[in-house]
Each structure stands twice: as C-alpha cells, then as structure tokens.
Amino acid sequence: MPCVTNNYRPLKRVIDIIGAVIGMIVMVPFFIIIAIWIKRDSAGPIFYRQARVGLHGKMFNALKFRSMIMDGDRGTNDGITTPDKQSRITHSGHFIRKYRLDELAQLWNVLIGDMSLVGPRPQTLPYIQIYPDIYKMVHTVRPGVTGLASIKFHEREERMLLEAGDNANDVYIQKILPLKFHYNLFYVSHYGLWFDIKIIWWTIKGMIGKI
C-alpha cells in the first residue's frame, strides 16, 4: 500500500477547524429548522450520540441529528439501518437521511478533533472486532463526515441492506464491509489536499442532485 507522507496532516487539521467553524456558522439557520422539525415530529432529544472508533482506535461519541423515534436503536449497537429499523425512522428522519443532513451535526466532532471533514466513515466497535487488521490501517487517519466510500457506495449499501431482509447483518459483514474497505484503504493510501477537495465537491454535487 502506498505510503502517504505526513506533510499534509497539520494542514488537514487546520482546514478541518476552519471548515467546521465556517460550516456551523453558515448552517445555523438550517440547524434551527432541523432542530424544530425534529422536536415537533417526535418526542426525544434533538441529537443522537453513538460510540464510534476513530483515529488510532480511540473511542468517541459521534453526533447526529436524531432521525429515529426515541430509543429506536434500543438493543442494537451495530450502527446500520436494517429493514426492521425502517419503521422507527421519523418523518423528519427520512428527509434528513436522504440528504445526509443528520451527519452535519458531526461538524462539532470535527471541531474538537474526533473527526475530519473528509475520511472513512467512523465504524462501531463490533464490526471492527471482526476485521481488526484492516481497521488498524483505516484508523491511521481520522474518520470523516464524508468519504470516498460514502459517495461511491452509500445508496448501493442501503439497497443491499433492504434487499437482505433478516440477513442484513450477515450481508453487511460478508459483502458490504469488504467493498467499503476497497474505497477506505484507497483513501488512506492516496489522500491529500486536492483529493479531499474533490471528495467535498462530489459530496455537495450529490446532495444537490437529490433535490
């Protein structure tokens, strides 16, 4: 696997901080609208926190705007949306998930250093324990709000999980994760300023394309 020099890492962190601050300021009106909608739509908090694994295996709480009913993920810690969870998604949740607005709350995680604007999406511990050697390589960079796998594979992943039915977890482990590793390891090996800019542009373009 090609080795990426560390020269970009300090700059990447500076860009993350500036980008997170600007993003949160610009998005304040949208955040307020989302927050009001969530509160009016169902009982419960505005934000949802879930333990994820980040840089060098460090655990942190990833923040999202809540898209499910209160305790909608009770009894699970896998972090994937299986068919049985679909009925627990709120009306506002369907919308913010479609445009990935729920993940914009993770700008806070970027600001405090848990995440980066761009990188592999953070994973929950149970799946990391299945593929520890691969995730050891993935975790050499901070997880991102958006990433190559999210852009190239997100919609296909959702279809595969829905089509899998009761076997969704097995399909995720045996088929989806190996495919996502391809994109994540490619990013780890080749990331840089212009690659990150491209991924951010692809993300924005994809969101606009859904409107």
Average pLDDT over residues 35-59: 95
**pLDDT given at position 5:** 55
> Residue 56: what residue type?
H
Dihedral pair phi/psi, residue 37, rounded to 5°: -60, -45
Secondary structure (3-state) at 60: strand
Any domain includes 120? yes
> Could you tell me which of 125, 12, 121, 130 has the C-alpha nearest to residue 64?
121
- Show the tokens assigned to 136: 């050891």
Any domain includes 82? yes
**pLDDT given at position 207:** 80
Any domain includes 159? yes
pLDDT at 1 over 70: no
Q: Where are the beta strands (DSSP E) in the chain?
A: 47-53, 59-65, 116-118, 144-146
Share of the chain above pLDDT 70, in %: 90
Any domain includes 1? no
Number of domains present in the structure of the chain? 1
Any domain includes 125? yes
Average pLDDT over residues 124-139: 96
Any domain includes 57? yes
Any domain includes 61? yes
Average pLDDT over residues 28-47: 95
C-alpha–C-alpha distance, residues 117 and 128, integer Å = 21
Dihedral pair phi/psi, residue 199, rounded to 5°: -65, -40
At 179-206, the pLDDT tens digits run 999 999 999 999 999 999 999 999 988 8
Q: How far is CA 172 from CA 33, 95, 105, 139, 194, in A?
A: 33, 24, 25, 20, 31
- pTM score: 0.90
- Show the tokens assigned to 170: 């097995």
Any domain includes 33? yes
**pLDDT given at position 2:** 46
**Domain extent at residue 94:** 8-209
